[in-house]
Structure 1
Amino acid sequence: MAGSTFWLVVLLGMFGSLLGFILNHFLPLMLLRLNGSLPPKGSFGWPILGQTLAFLKPHPSNSLGAFLQHHCSRYGKVFKSHLFLSPTIVSCDQELNYFILQNEGKLFECSYPKPIHGILGKSSMLVAVADTHKRLRNVAVSLVTITKSKPEFLSDIEATTISMLHSWKDKSQVIFCEEARKFTFNVIVKQVLGLTPDEPQTTRILEDFLTFMRGLISLPLYIPGTPYARAVKARRRISSTVKAIIEERRRQAAETSTNSSRSKRSDFLEILMDVVILI
């Protein structure tokens, strides 16, 4: 009897989830029609998946890609779709996009699809709004200002550049986008965490960062083994690693006897601690 009840609950849960996905796919369109408002032309594609897979299909950076080209030629520059598990209005119209950007925070609110929040984190500057976004932006601006004012800023970038160029000597082929990503990452890690590319922590963070980037543009289904699920876990590991580094720096700062060293780390640490608390 208990076993039958368990499977009944499982079946009801699966049925409820499936019904929820179907309603999420079709209900917005039905409500718009009932209210007498018709969305732009377009297609929602498959239930649950929508048109996300076609949208994420790689294409040359100097083109719109097959998905946008096909939909723009068929439905116009503004069309409806279903992307990242959410009904979506896609705009390729320059004037409309300019109007939206000019009225951000007034008529429109900048945001990412909800499934992307799982990767970026609830308090990421890319998804945060209102006071939280303002605070994160102030932290980022302060961090950039302090970093650029450091005397060793340019010398660190030069050293990173020379090191990366030397690493290309024995390579028959260099993938520029990956190397550019590594260069940017190494500069940020050096300036923010004080880690060099040769340190084990840097390697671990880089691996998690690359996993994170691959999952950021993937189908947002949290199923173990998928790029999305791996990206969510990678972001958590990065957050834990950064927190551990900050705690270690704070402990070292407390043990430092010279006021100059303590002051230098205190300003830098204060910014990082604000970010960690928000995460």
Structure 2
Amino acid sequence: MWVIGAFLVTIVAISYIYSIYKWRTPKSNGIPPPGSMGLPLIGETLELLIPSYSMDIHPFIKKRITRFGPIFRTNILGRPVVVSTDPEFNNRIFCGEGKMVEIFFTDTFNDLLGIGGKDSKMGGSGAVHKYIRTLALTHFGTERLKAGLFTEIGNMVDHTLRLWSTLPAVEVKNASANAIFHFTAKHVTGCGQEKLPKNFWEKFKNIRQSFMSIPIRIPGTSYYRCAKDKEEVLNTLKGIMEEKCSSPQTRGGGDVFDHAIADLNTQSFITEDFVLLLTFVITFVSFDSVSSVLPIVFKCHAENPSASKELEAEHEALLKRRRENRNSPLSWEEYKSLTFTPHVINEILRLANLVSGILRRALVDINVKGYTIPAGWMIMAITHASHLNPDVYKDPLVFNPWRWKDIEARVTSKDFMPFGGGGRQCAGAEFAKAFLASFIHVLVTKYR
């Protein structure tokens, strides 16, 4: 019996060791990128989720760059992942969508927003992606900004900062997200803040905070509450949609909802469910990125008096050239005439880490720098790493807007991608930069 027991223990031990070996040595048709697969099932997820309170590259990424180089493998929630901080390879990924890679998001992200995955309603390529991008650019792109949206942004910023100035303290990230949310929600749904439910903003904020939760729909879990909030938001949007459809006279306001309703059934995928989800997604993605940047605007403005003085001088000179009301919003022509402010915005965007990681899934085996990324593996492109590359940006953690006076076009095309790259570069990029310029204008001309 003792011999049999020892034999069984040996078999179990060998099986366990073999399973660990297979986990840590993934199958590949070539040499996979160097790295570690971490613990079984959870991989290296826990270390990646530890918050970083620095503007530098996340410690998880930085440590592995030092050890393995700019392209390495890891495992997140049981999925093999290749992390790339190499700007050339990242650009190759963005330009190779549909042939080399496809868009990919986490299960939670896909379940809540319908973006990514095989059954994606919103993240597909071809006609669906083209329609969504065209719709977003029509309502938030350059031509719409010129036609009056930029002036509306200026008025909203003026109202917001006037309100903040009456308060004893302001938590900038949350307060700005609230303001931007209601501004964009009006242009998406056609409803002002007074017509939306009082807790509408809170629902979106709760959904945003639950993206890294495990997608288990059990009462009491973060994901369950998040799913319930999404359901309530969609019900609200459905009510608005039904009112618009039953009363055509309420339409014609030029909002995203009106546009999408007018397009119903003109293409096979433009169904009522699609329009509801589209409206939800555009409202959701519109407020988070810019509100993440504004705290850095204050930080850099407060800590860099020389940059602040040059900003103030540029905007004061602009006001002196005006013959009309000095208090009128920044015009599009004035915005385009600014020279130092765009440098400040670029530098803030470089430091802001707007996009932590862009996910794609390999459709075929991909050869890069002597390694092979197997088909089916996830690829996480870390564009922020190139923004902090000391070989490109001297003293990368130092706020230095003057560096942009002499930066080559090659750098801005490959080593500066705050809004992603390729055909999926953020359609709201121009909106975000215009908003920041308007915010800076009001801030430096009216407030301390």
Give TM-score, length-normalised by structure 2: 0.47
Distance 1:232 1:190 in 2: 23
CA contact (8 A) 1:85 1:115 kept: no
Report if aligned partners of 1:139, 1:275 keep a CA contact under 8 Å in 2: no
- What amino acid does structure 2 have at the position aligned with 1:205? F
Q: Does structure 1 residue 81 correspond to structure 2 residue 74?
A: yes
Corresponding residue SS for 2:102: coil
User: Which is bigger in relative contact order (C-alpha 8 A, separation at least 6)?
Assistant: 2
SS in 1 for 2:103: coil
Where does residue 175 of structure 1 map in the other structure? 171
**Residue by residue, what CA displacement relative to the aligned partner does 1:2-47 show, whole Å, maximum 9, x if unpaired?**
xxxxxxxxxxxxxxxxxxxxx9x99786661xx5533222222233
* 2:187–2:255 Cα contact (<8 Å) kept: no
1:65 aligns with 2:54: no
Separation in 2, partners of 1:50, 1:197: 44
Using the TM superposition, give the Cα deviation of residue 50 of structure 1 relative to its aligned residue in structure 2, in angstroms. 2.3
State the AA in 2 paired with 1:232: A
Query: Which deviations, in whole Å up to 9, do the C-alpha atoms of 1:185-227 show, x marking residues without a partner?
Result: 11111111223234452x32211110111112x1433253333
1:264 to 1:147, Cα distance in 2 relative to 1, 3 A: farther
1:168–1:97 distance in 2 versus 1, CA, 3 Å: same
Q: Could you say which structure has the higher helix fraction?
A: 1
Query: SS at 1:50's partner residue?
Result: coil
Identical residues among aligned pairs (%): 24
8 Å contact from structure 1 (residues 45, 82) kept in 2:
yes
In the TM superposition, what are the counterparts of 1:50-129 in structure 2 within 5 Å?
50-60=43-53, 62-122=55-115, 123=120, 125=122, 127-129=123-125
The answer for the alignment partner of 1:271 in structure 2 is 260
C-alpha change, 1:95 and 1:219, in structure 2 (3 Å) is same
* Cα shift readout 1:146-180 (whole Å, capped 9, x = no counterpart): 99279664554344323322332343332222223
Give the counterpart letter for 1:83 in structure 2. I
Counterparts of 1:208 and 1:276, CA distance in 2: 22
Question: Any unmatched runs of 5+ in structure 1?
Answer: 1-22
Over 3 Å counting, the alpha-carbon distance change for 1:128 and 1:184 in structure 2 is farther
CA contact (8 A) 2:188 2:256 kept: no
Question: In structure 1, what is the equivalent of residue 186 of structure 2?
Answer: 190
Question: Which runs of structure 2 are paired with 1:123-162 in the superposition (5 Å)?
Answer: 123=120, 125=122, 127-144=123-140, 148=144, 153-154=149-150, 156-162=152-158
What letter corresponds to residue 40 of structure 1 in structure 2? Answer: P
- Provide the alpha-carbon RMSD of the alignment: 3.4
CA distance in 1, matches of 2:255, 2:47: 48
Q: Verify the 8 A CA contact 2:37 2:80 in the aligned structure 1.
A: yes
Segment drifting more, 79-88 vs 62-71:
79-88
Counterpart of 1:135, as a letter, is Y
1:249 to 239, 244, 248: 244
Deviation at 1:90, TM superposition (A): 0.7
Contact 1:84 1:219 in 2 (8 A): no
Distance in 1 of aligned mates of 2:216 and 2:21: 22
1:186 aligned counterpart, secondary structure: helix
Within the candidate set 211, 215, 228, 1:233 is matched to 228
Aligned equivalents of 1:91 and 1:105: distance in 2? 19
Q: Counterpart of 2:226 in 1: which secondary structure?
A: helix
